[in-house]
Amino acid sequence: MSTQRPTRRGVLKAAAGITATTALGAGGVLASASAAHAVGDGFGLRIVDRDERDPRMRYFRFATGAIGWNPGVNVLLPDGYHSGGRRYPVLYLFHGGGTGQDFITFDRMGIRAWTAGKPLIVVMPDGGAAGWYSNPVASNVGPRNWETFHIAQLLPWVDANFRTYAEYDGRAVSGFSMGGFGALKYAAKYYGHFASVSSHSGPASLRRDAGLVTHWANLSSATVELGGGTVYGAPLWDEARVSADNPVQRIGSYRNKRVFLVAGTSPDPVNWFDTVNETQVLAGQRGFRGALGAAGIPHEWHEVPGGHFVRPDLFRRDLDGIVARLRKA
């Protein structure tokens, strides 16, 4: 497991990333969180629904030009957030694909208990049933620009409205399945934003096996997300976009980050979906790990029995590693 701090070059890149995300909020005023700050609109997000009654779990739903419907987000605050003025590191936690997956997924699984007592804010946004944490090449159902929503809008909105560390050492990104891919992708494309990245059964290679994961991203997004449009283009891919999103082609972008990977070794032999999914995940992560090792980039990895599902024990281990890597509250 990597616990290295960024090099000077990495710090400069991080600073550049922070500048990009700490943009002007609504009304042209530079937004910043304070000890007593009412959560409001900004960065292209307008709150259309909210529930802030729970002392830890806050719910918001936004109108945004990036998405053709109103996506939601859960913000899980640490114990004691309201009784002091400390700032906290932030974990962005991404759900997997499927019509039953959304911003509430990890709350259903037990994220409140997993994070009890941990000095960490956890942000869990919608990512679409098959959004692939991307701005698609084509959509027939209106905008589905999930990458814009998460990186250009939600991330600075969180830093403006909660007591966070708006810096490289203040943020981690993690996810399961499609969300694990999104975490790996964002950590590489937006180097200065995240000091820790975790992929729980998330694919790390878009091009292996004749691009099976890319084909699956296109097929699933066309079927349930984009009304026949695709993430990467069909029948011909946008090759530059595939390369930019492909973790195994961005190995150098994982330097000076904590990298945590999980894959199952024995998917259900009678469940075609489980078998294909986790077989690809395992093979892709092995190739990714090999490239990280060849480049001298530290990483922690776990190959464990079973197929394509969330493993709470490894999520808890990951959370401990995230807290240890990020700046302390």
Q: So which residues are the catalytic ones?
A: 177, 274, 308
Q: What proportions of the chain, in percent to the nearest 5, are helix, strand and coil? A: 40, 20, 40
Q: How far apart are CA 75 and CA 159, in angstroms?
A: 12
- What b-and-e string marks burial along 10-38, b requiring 16 or more CB atoms within 10 Å of the CB? bbebbeebbeebbeebeeeeebebeeeee
Tell me the pairing of strands 57-63 and 46-51. Answer: antiparallel
Helix axis angle, 208-224 to 272-294, nearest 10°: 130
How would you label 196-216 residue by residue, b for 16+ Cβ within 10 Å and e otherwise? bbbbbbbbbbbbbeebbbbbb
Q: Which amino acid is at 307?
A: G
Tell me the residue type at 216.
W
